[in-house]
Structure 1
Amino acid sequence: MVAEFNSAFSINGLPIVYDDLSEVAYSLVKEGEPFEKEIGDFLLDWVSESDKILQRTSGSTGSPKDLYLSKKAMVKSALLTGSYLELGEGTRAVLCLPVSSIAGKMMLVRALTLGWKLTFVPPERTPLWSVSGDIDFIAMVPMQLQGSLKELRRVGKVLVGGAPVSKDLRQALLGKKTIVYESYGMSETASHIALRKLNPPVQGTPSGTVPAFQALPGITLEQDENQCLVVHAPFISPEPIHTNDLVSLSDAHSFHWLGRADHIVNSGGVKLIPELLEAQLEPVVDRRFFLTGIPDDVLGEKLVLIAEGKPDKDLLAKVKRSAAVEKYQVPKAVYFLDTFMEGKSGKILRAEIKAELFKNE
């Protein structure tokens, strides 16, 4: 099929016509760095006869699997983003995400479809240091945004996703004029289906208030019997997309994310949502950490805290003294690891860390 294409599209300052896409792609595959080879492979897929793109899911809605996304759905998603964020033809954009991810693929689709002037750089922690001049738009994961705070003055709009944005990072954005949106989405939804504006804060909004995610036009939301989010996006899938994300649903178009259903700890009959408690403990624990459950003869499961870095024998006592959480929500034990395993987006790999830590128990 002939893929959607806008003639204003350019790569690294070079205008590209549709008939030259294959040649550009072959050159990247043959001579490029590993991240450039991924770009070339995707461009070849985009101009191929197939009407679908193969994407390996991240496992957000179950075990990782191969997924085939319609090119038409990806184009529709790109058009929605362009319209919602007012990023039209001629937008100066930077691709700094691996194209193995749906987020990286969609940056290319947006550029091709909307006619952006795209610059691509290695998917490193400080991508803006590789780019000169002002930028209209860039999509990043939180660790890249954290590493780019000093350069944000050159950027008009940022889309951040792939992992939760910490309270400290949200705080670091205060006072900066760059417009930052946090995204919610997954491979199955061809990138994000909802956004929330983190910065600059809406006038009159209390300090520290986290806004709700707002669904893009044409997308509606509901909850299943387990309070998990269900997404209705007809342009992506004729069937509802069921997620494993616990949410507080404001209405059919907005929600607050609470945590993952598969992370819930059932301790003595009380269901604890680790992500909610982690947010409350963030000011108390001065390092990366997460909460999880492990088997317990009395409680069935007990809540424990796993922290990164050198052991601190006073950490649990500090948590108890803080009163940041209720007594029954205080972890029963603390475990330490020198370094956390993390995914490409910087997301902490909870299941893998837990399996490694307790493999001999």
Structure 2
Amino acid sequence: MTPKFDKVHRRFKLNGNSYNHDALKEVAYSYIKEGEPFERVIGNFVADWLDHNDFIRTNTSGSTGKPKTIEVKKQAMVNSAIATGDYFNISPGDKALLCLPLESIAGKMMLVRAMMLGLELDIVSPSKFPSFDNYKTYDFSAMIPTQLYNSIERVSNIKTIIVGGAPVPIHLLKRIQNIEATVYETFGMTETVSHIAVRKLNHLKDGEQSNVFKLLPNIKISQDDRGCLVINAPRLNSETIVTNDVVNIIGKSEFEWLGRYDNVINSGGVKLYPETIEAKLQPEINQRFLVASKTDKELGEKLIMVLEGERFDIPETVFQGLDKYEKPKEMLFIPKFVETVSGKVQREKTLDLL
């Protein structure tokens, strides 16, 4: 039986202390009045969660259009929490770590999962270098790639880590292969109340593919005429969600992400996906780079590569794994890329620097 949003699981603990519905209100007010800045954000969210409304307001990331403030049903967040719990076999009494800011849907959902699933949740300041108990065993946590990279030597005590907010770079992917924690990359957005699919990044068994996302329960997908992902998840959103993510659907419950429709390059009539080309080149290039385009009289759009840092010569062997039309025709350099707070490169603002 799915719990209602106005209930708090009796096994729920926050920083080692048990709280029921009324006691949690007192914690929220205490955080708002006396807490550190990140605790005040938590207090405001908890107060909103426990009020009489059946929704909360939160900001979107721009996955389905321009960023905006939307209303998300609290029961949809509960349904998402249950789906995650079922997928990862999370049980009441399991220990979880929250090191994400609650301004994001990912941070909010960690707290909702704890309240609904009965987890023992420890909250720490949302830093790029999260400070948590290295000797306490945690069953579940969520991080952005930067946090995981900066904590790579200290996550052996976390059993399952989900990573989102930005793509996992190849250098981090290589480093997590030998750690004890099982790491998953998530796919989702605010409109789908956090992730609707995950892909396993390490500890792969024979036959498992790291580039394929697997859907969580009660999610159906299709494609529009652009080849973009269409999500039907009535337990999370009453509306069908049309994304700008170009995908290759594999069966009913899996898909491969190719890139953003906004970034598709039409070069001489050939459609090129920058993110797909970047994934092929990542093992060969040690610094950050982007694949983009410039206006060209002959081709319409000419494929270019933009690299971060000082200019250097790139050997031809780097491009051996690319298809005929995927090889960049010009190399440009920028001293420093523009980033979001989660460490994700902002393509348009970075390219504006050119």
Which category describes the TM-score, using the shorter chain as reference length?
over 0.9
SS of the equivalent of 1:282 reads helix
1:334 CA displacement: 2.1
Q: Between 193-202 and 91-100, report the one with greater CA deviation.
A: 193-202
Indicate how the Cα distance of structure 1 residues 319 and 109 shifts in structure 2: closer, same or farther if over 3 A, else same.
Answer: farther
SS of the equivalent of 2:284 reads coil
Indicate how the Cα distance of structure 1 residues 77 and 21 shifts in structure 2: closer, same or farther if over 3 A, else same.
Answer: same
Q: State whether structure 2 residue 298 is matched by structure 1 residue 331.
A: no
Q: Residue 347 of structure 1 corresponds to which residue in structure 2?
A: 344
**Quick one: which amino acid aligns to residue 158 of structure 1?**
I
For 2:17 and 2:224, the matched residues in 1 are separated by 48
Normalised by the length of structure 1, the TM-score is 0.92
For 2:211 and 2:308, the matched residues in 1 are separated by 29
1:130 CA displacement: 5.3
Q: Deviations over 1:155-193 (max 9, x none)?
A: 111111111112322222223332212111000000011
**Quick one: which amino acid aligns to residue 228 of structure 2?**
C
Indicate how the Cα distance of structure 1 residues 326 and 219 shifts in structure 2: closer, same or farther if over 3 A, else same.
Answer: closer
Q: Residue 12 of structure 1 corresponds to which residue in structure 2?
A: 15
Q: Residue 182 of structure 2 corresponds to which residue in structure 1?
A: 179
1:126 CA displacement: 2.7
Q: Residue 235 of structure 1 corresponds to which residue in structure 2?
A: 235
Q: Between 59-68 and 193-202, report the one with greater CA deviation.
A: 193-202
SS of the equivalent of 2:294 reads strand
Q: Between 227-236 and 300-309, report the one with greater CA deviation.
A: 300-309
Q: Deviations over 1:6-54 (max 9, x none)?
A: 1221211122221022221121122222211111110011011111111
Q: Residue 158 of structure 1 corresponds to which residue in structure 2?
A: 161
For 2:129 and 2:171, the matched residues in 1 are separated by 18
Task: Indicate if the aligned counterparts of 2:218 and 2:233 stay in contact, CA closer than 8 A.
Answer: yes
Q: Between 176-185 and 129-138, report the one with greater CA deviation.
A: 129-138
Q: Deviations over 1:119-139 (max 9, x none)?
A: 111122232555541111110
Q: Between 338-347 and 258-267, report the one with greater CA deviation.
A: 338-347
Task: Indicate if the aligned counterparts of 1:128 and 1:151 stay in contact, CA closer than 8 A.
Answer: no
Q: State whether structure 2 residue 94 is matched by structure 1 residue 100.
A: no
Indicate how the Cα distance of structure 1 residues 39 and 177 shifts in structure 2: closer, same or farther if over 3 A, else same.
Answer: same
Task: Indicate if the aligned counterparts of 2:5 and 2:75 stay in contact, CA closer than 8 A.
Answer: no
For 1:65 and 1:172, the matched residues in 2 are separated by 36
Which structure 2 residues correspond to residues 301-320 of structure 1 after superposition, within 5 A?
301-312=301-312, 314-315=313-314, 318-319=315-316
Q: Residue 86 of structure 2 corresponds to which residue in structure 1?
A: 83
**Quick one: which amino acid aligns to residue 25 of structure 2?**
S
1:288 CA displacement: 0.7
Q: Between 26-35 and 226-235, report the one with greater CA deviation.
A: 26-35
1:78 CA displacement: 0.4
For 2:318 and 2:120, the matched residues in 1 are separated by 54
Task: Indicate if the aligned counterparts of 2:338 and 2:345 stay in contact, CA closer than 8 A.
Answer: yes
Which 4+ stretches in 1 moved above 6 angstroms? none
SS of the equivalent of 1:283 reads helix
For 1:167 and 1:131, the matched residues in 2 are separated by 25
Task: Indicate if the aligned counterparts of 2:134 and 2:157 stay in contact, CA closer than 8 A.
Answer: no
For 1:67 and 1:132, the matched residues in 2 are separated by 39
Q: Residue 201 of structure 2 corresponds to which residue in structure 1?
A: 198
1:338 CA displacement: 2.0
For 1:282 and 1:341, the matched residues in 2 are separated by 19
Task: Indicate if the aligned counterparts of 2:134 and 2:154 stay in contact, CA closer than 8 A.
Answer: no
Q: Between 161-170 and 261-270, report the one with greater CA deviation.
A: 161-170
Q: Residue 27 of structure 2 corresponds to which residue in structure 1?
A: 24
In structure 2, list runs of 5 or more residues that go unmatched: none
1:284 CA displacement: 2.4
Count of residue pairs brought into register by the alignment: 351
Task: Indicate if the aligned counterparts of 2:96 and 2:121 stay in contact, CA closer than 8 A.
Answer: yes
In structure 1, list runs of 5 or more residues that go unmatched: none
CA RMSD, Structure 1 to Structure 2 (Å): 1.8
Which structure 2 residues correspond to residues 246-261 of structure 1 after superposition, within 5 A?
246-261=246-261
For 2:169 and 2:244, the matched residues in 1 are separated by 21
For 1:128 and 1:321, the matched residues in 2 are separated by 38
Normalised by the length of structure 2, the TM-score is 0.94
1:341 CA displacement: 1.6
